[in-house]
Structure 1
Amino acid sequence: MADEVNKTAFLEIQGRMIELTGKLKQVQNQMRNKEGEKKRAYLTLEELHQLSDDTNTYKSIGRTFVLEPKPVLMNEQEQKLKDSESAIASLQTSKEYLEKQMAEVENNLRELLQQDPGLARQIMSMSVM
């Protein structure tokens, strides 16, 4: 009876670990994408700063380019930069939360395996097959 309870608890912990790992990878990918967006916006702003105010600037919309005043493009890039920074901060908070959750699940697994050393042997014998 205790073996079944421990096996069930192990399977729940394992499922939670897999779920958290997936979410953590997703958040890390989103952070990488936002970092790329932030860098593109920053570099575009740097290039726009070098242009004189009367220079014709174009904005890409799909496959079409539209003439836009330089200040409009600069405002858009500054907004993209700010949005990326706030998204990165939010994702960082989510990442830290998920990492804490992972540590908690790992501790739960450790405690379970310490309570039932036979369960560890069963798990190892199952993974060898």
Structure 2
Amino acid sequence: MADEANRATFLEIQGRMIEITGKLKQVQSQVRNKEGEKKRAFLTLEELKQLSDDTNAYKSIGRAFVLEPKSVLMAEQEQKLKDSEAAIVSLQSSKEYLEKQKAEVENNLKELLQQDPGIARQIMSMTVA
């Protein structure tokens, strides 16, 4: 009876670990994407700063290009930069939270294995299909 309860607890902990690990990978991917967006916006801003103030430049909209004043393009790139920075801060806090959850689940798993060494043997004897 206790063996079945421990096995069910292990399966629950394993499921939580898989879920948290998946979410953590997703957040890390989102952070990388936002950092790329931030870098592109920064580099575009640097290039636009080199142009004279009365210059018009082309903005890509899908497959089309639209002529816009430099000031409009600069404002858009600055907004993208700010939005990316805010998103990165938010995602970093989510990442920290998920890492804490993962550590907590790992501790729960360690406690379960220390509490019932027999379940560790069962886990080790399980074959991966």
Q: TM-score range by the shorter chain?
A: over 0.9
Q: Does 1:77 align with 2:81?
A: no
Alignment match, 2:105: 105
Corresponding letter in the other structure for 1:36: G
Alignment match, 2:123: 123
Q: How does 1:1-129 map to 2 (within 5 A)?
A: 1-127=1-127
Kindly state the Cα deviation for residue 73 of structure 1 after the two structures are TM-superposed: 0.2
Kindly state the Cα deviation for residue 128 of structure 1 after the two structures are TM-superposed: 6.4
Instruction: Let me know the Cα RMSD of the aligned residues.
Output: 1.0
- Which ranges of structure 1 fall in alignment gaps of 5 or more residues? none
- Which ranges of structure 2 fall in alignment gaps of 5 or more residues? none
Query: CA separation in 1, counterparts of 2:92 and 2:81?
Result: 16
| Secondary structure of the structure 1 residue equivalent to 2:4 | helix
Kindly state the Cα deviation for residue 54 of structure 1 after the two structures are TM-superposed: 1.7
Question: Percentage identity across aligned positions?
Answer: 84
Q: What is the aligned length?
A: 129
Structure 1 runs of 4+ aligned residues shifted over 3 Å read none
